[in-house]
């Protein structure tokens, strides 16, 4: 039964990612803690980071074949972000688990806010890296990488606008390029947590399998519902707000009990 619940939870995350193209992984930690039943928040974060990384690299292959990845920009952002992710993961392991969940709830509200706001599709699809762009990408990559490592999240909702801000590339290219960082940041975070014995490999494997299955369904459905993408994103954002409030309530109850 626990394996089935883990698979279903992973499928839900994968489905949201496939349907909406980002933001779905924010549900991974709450699902692992409150549905799957992972007792230690740090283990949930380490396990989530590994699952998010695997799903990101799987989706990156499709974007690479489609030619939407701007590799030089993606590489600069990711390399700078790895340093931030490593430090973020190191720091996150030393924060009380319930404090970490409370902060995670606040981040979920930020994600929901970004989803409600949406993002513009403007940008240059033919952008080429130069020293000024490389400097901006390195700076933003370092900050976003830290947040990704600290909370064990993919951070696509932060990475996409950060890459667009740093380079001026189009949204489609930013989405494809962001997956390089999502995968590498997640892998960096997972490695740090694994070295501390804070990854449940069995749960991670089942969660990833569920994510792949859910992602396939989500991608197929996204084509049919492409015209309703804005409505679907706002609906999902509403769900994220509800889950965030639940996480804040549960974590604050444990903190002040």
pLDDT at 240: 86
pLDDT at 175: 80
Element (H, E) at 50: helix 41-66
Please check the confidence at residue 120 and state whether its pLDDT lies above 70: no
Q: Which two tokens stand for residue 171?
A: 């949204």
Identity of the highest mean pLDDT range in 4-8, 55-59, 216-220: 4-8
Count of beta carbons in the 10 Å neighbourhood of residue 2: 11
The Cα-based distances of 137 to 118, 145, 157, 186 in angstroms read 21, 11, 16, 18
pTM for the structure as a whole: 0.85
∠ CA 92-95-97, nearest 5°, is 100
Q: Give the three-state DSSP class for 124.
A: strand
- 138 pLDDT band, cuts 50/70/90, is very high
pLDDT at 214: 86
Identity of the highest mean pLDDT range in 58-62, 132-136, 181-185: 132-136
Question: What pLDDT digit, counting tens, does each position of 147-167 carry?
Answer: 999 988 877 778 888 898 899
Residue 118 φ/ψ, nearest 5 degrees? 70, 180
**Which of 13-17, 32-36, 224-228 is least confident?**
224-228
């Amino acid at each position: 039964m626990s394996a089935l619940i883990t698979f279903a939870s992973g499928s839900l995350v994968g489905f949201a990612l496939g349907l909406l193209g980002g933001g779905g992984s924010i549900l991974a930690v709450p699902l692992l803690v409150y549905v799957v039943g992972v007792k230690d928040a740090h283990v949930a974060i380490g396990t989530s980071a590994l699952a998010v990384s695997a799903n990101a690299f799987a989706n990156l292959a499709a974007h690479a074949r489609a030619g939407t990845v701007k590799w030089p920009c993606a590489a600069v952002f990711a390399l700078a972000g790895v340093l931030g992710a490593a430090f973020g993961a190191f720091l996150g392991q030393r924060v009380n688990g319930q404090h970490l969940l409370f902060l995670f709830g606040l981040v979920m509200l930020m994600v929901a806010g970004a989803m409600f706001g949406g993002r513009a599709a403007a940008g240059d699809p033919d952008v080429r890296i130069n020293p000024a762009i490389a400097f901006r990408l390195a700076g933003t990559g370092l900050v976003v990488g830290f947040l990704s490592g600290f909370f064990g999240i993919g951070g696509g909702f932060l990475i996409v606008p950060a890459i667009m801000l740093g380079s001026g590339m189009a949204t489609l290219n930013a989405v494809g390029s962001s997956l390089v960082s999502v995968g590498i940041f997640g892998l960096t975070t997972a490695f740090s947590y694994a070295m501390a014995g804070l990854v449940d490999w069995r749960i991670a494997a089942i969660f990833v399998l569920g994510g792949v299955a859910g992602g396939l369904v989500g991608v197929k459905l996204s084509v049919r519902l492409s015209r309703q993408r804005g409505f679907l994103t706002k609906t999902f954002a509403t769900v994220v707000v509800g889950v965030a409030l639940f996480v804040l309530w549960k974590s604050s109850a444990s903190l002040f009990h």
